Chains A and B, each alone.
Chain A
Amino acid sequence: DAKTTQPNSMESNEEEPVHLPCNHSTISGTDYIHWYRQLPSQGPEYVIHGLTSNVNNRMASLAIAEDRKSSTLILHRATLRDAAVYYCILRVDTGGFKTIFGAGTRLFVKA
């Protein structure tokens, strides 16, 4: 299964941008890059996804490298409510599109 690598933790100041990196060097051509986050005591929630092009939505932006071997989730202005574990995952086409989570990055936001 294709694997992702993320830093264990990152820290940010409130109101500043945050860039969360992810490496997925074994990604294949049909794999979608998804980001989820998990707030304390909740289930994971979808943030954003992409295939080849950069993507923006109301929550975040996703920058995908040209070779697709890495991506960066960008939170434009971190708030205290953005403190969570962020998971970069590949939606793998194994005939069933199963979703496998790695260890994630724990984001700390300082006031």
Chain B
Amino acid sequence: DAGVIQSPRHEVTEMGQEVTLRCKPISGHDYLFWYRQTMMRGLELLIYFNNNVPIDDSGMPEDRFSAKMPNASFSTLKIQPSEPRDSAVYFCASSRDRGHTEAFFGQGTRLTVV
């Protein structure tokens, strides 16, 4: 397996534009996580899915952020409209469904909103 695949690796956009980040989890993994990392706040859990169903979105900053998982092999994180303070590295991770299994992270998407 190629691991967790995120696209794009880098995204530069203007304030007010819509941004869509994409993630392909490892096949067979039941859990998918979206994280955001900044220097100020470190790694923050935004939302996670179990079997394509959102379980906890309490980390999503505000209504401008939304995430979907239409099937087991694809998830998106959308920001509309984007703001400069959304600039961060966004990571997607996946794991099997037990606490004693490891989570695998993608390489991340570095988002810059100007």
Contact = CB atoms under 8 A, between A and B. Distances in A.
On whether the two chains bind one another, the answer is: yes
Interface of A: 30-32, 34, 36, 42-46, 49, 51, 87, 91-104
Interface string B44-66: 11001010000110000000000
6 contacts: A43-B106, A96-B31, A97-B97, A99-B95, A101-B35, A103-B42
Given A43-B106, A43-B107, A96 B99 contact: no
Nearest to A96: B55
A104 B42 contact: yes
Interface in B85-114: 91, 93, 95, 97-100, 102-108
Q: Which secondary structure dominates where chain A touches chain B?
A: loop
Looking at A31, A44, A93, A95, which has the most chain B CB atoms within 10 Å of its CB? A44
Contacts of A92: 99
Interface of B: 4, 31, 33, 35, 42-45, 48, 50, 55-56, 91, 93, 95, 97-100, 102-108
B106 to A, nearest CB: 6
Nearest to A99: B103
B100 A51 contact: yes
A32 B103 CA distance: 13
Given A34-B102, A51-B100, A91-B99, 4 more contacts: A43-B93, A49-B100, A49-B102, A104-B42
Looking at A36, A97, A102, which has the most chain B CB atoms within 10 Å of its CB? A97
B49 to A, nearest CB: 9
